[in-house]
Structure 1
Amino acid sequence: MSQKKSQKHRAPRPQEASENERIAGRNPVMEALRSGAAVDTIYVSQESGGLQEIISLARDRGIPVKMVTDAKLSQLTGGAVHQGVAAEGACGQYVSLEELLQNAADRGEPPLLVLCDGIQDPHNLGAIIRTAEAAGAHGVIIPKRRSASLTLTVGKTSAGAASWLPVARVPNLVAAMETLKEHGVWIYGTDAAGTSYTETDFTGGTAFVIGSEGFGMSRLVSETCDGMLSLPMRGKVNSLNASVAAGIFLYEAVRQRMAPGT
């Protein structure tokens, strides 16, 4: 994630249809089944063993299980490392922005959210979702355009977290930010000249904007933030991987919220 602001975005690469419809790998498929995600069919390789728990769980839910060759499974998953199993269906279901806020209210906690601005690499989005879920965040927000979506790769990289953490996909990120502000959420972006992330109070409603590694946050998103945070850069590089930066901010919020008296 760059700490330099820019208005530019790269055009997203076209997604393969199979990426939007299938998830692969034992842990992501198991988490999808356990979470109640929409799954139409389970594909199991005839050459793989140790999948009886997944098969039983699928059949308990009334989901058809089809035995296929390993070559066919590789074809269905676009060459992904499938570990002998794949599921037809998204790796997670999108929710509304209001549902993210309700998620926080139901848990009796001030909202803790991540907004992804221009995160087009599915591996980065998957890693952000995985970290956010582990930190106890209430959801991730992505725009409908110029963003990775809940594809096979995202599900795999998130290690199943995309089946548990709510993700809202909004038409306009700036409009979503304004809605969050109306609900008392403070929104923070990143800038090298910003306030140190350890000197900012995150115990109230908080949302972190994570920009793309190549271009940072877009201009309008940056201007809509309530404040800017800086991370100390003591080495020769001046940026961090987007998911790493998200993890630093999220766990500072976790640390503050777990402190005595909060």
Structure 2
Amino acid sequence: MNLSPLPAIMLEPLVRAALLEDLGRAGDLTTDAIVPKDLRATTVLSARQSGVVAGLDLAMLAFRLIDERIESTLECPDGGEVAQGQTIASVSGPAGAILTAERTALNFLSHLSGIATATASIVNAIHDHKAKIVCTRKTTPGLRAVEKYAVRAGGGANHRFGLDDAILIKDNHIAMAGGIRPAIERARASVGHLVKIEVEVDTLAQLEDVLALAPDAVLLDNMSVEELRHAVSMVAGRCITEASGSITAAAAPAVAATGVDMISIGWLTHSAPILDIGLDYRDS
């Protein structure tokens, strides 16, 4: 997997804000009171269940921001599969600092690994088909870049990152524009040649109208498997086809078998369960 890490300058504000939220107004009262200041410790990040790892850069940054003397060794990189009980990384250094950063590190690592694991499960389920699994803009405010990174770590791909990188004409746009044709014509007249135009359609009749206007992609929303199969036949390769609308892991293989190019799934980023990961103390 060719997974490029996100630049540290993008990650530090997220991790710093999370640490400050946790430290509050008085710092880590429990650790400061109990753990000797000069105690050093070695700990390991362990997978409590099998899955795909994502978010290690954020987790390790959380430890370093609390104390730059903390050192880490990665045993499984982002995008790698781990079995239950497997060590993901070792973390050593001042014991108190490790404990102070623990929850923030695990919050990022468990959440993003959960997204990567959910993505991988669907990617693997449709591996016999050409369709790509893509995420949406249904992300946690402030965490879009890292959540979309986690989708890539799971073998998926990304849809729009924001409102500014493509045009997606949805039902409300069409209604307010007075129809599909004026919506597409206004969109095409207002953007540069590198900006793609995608149109959402709910019915095969709408799709027929849209195809006459030659969009770059069509979003086939909440269509049945039979309707999707018919839609792909109608498109006949003239533009990218994207299936969307409450697609579950169980339903994804049948949707992929219709021949669509993309399957967009919002719950990958807004509802995927975490991957249970713990920090275990080994020695001092």
- Decide: shared fold, TM above 0.5: no
Greater share of residues in helix:
2
Q: What TM-score do the two structures reach when normalised by structure 1? A: 0.34
Whichever of the two has the greater Rg, that structure is: 2
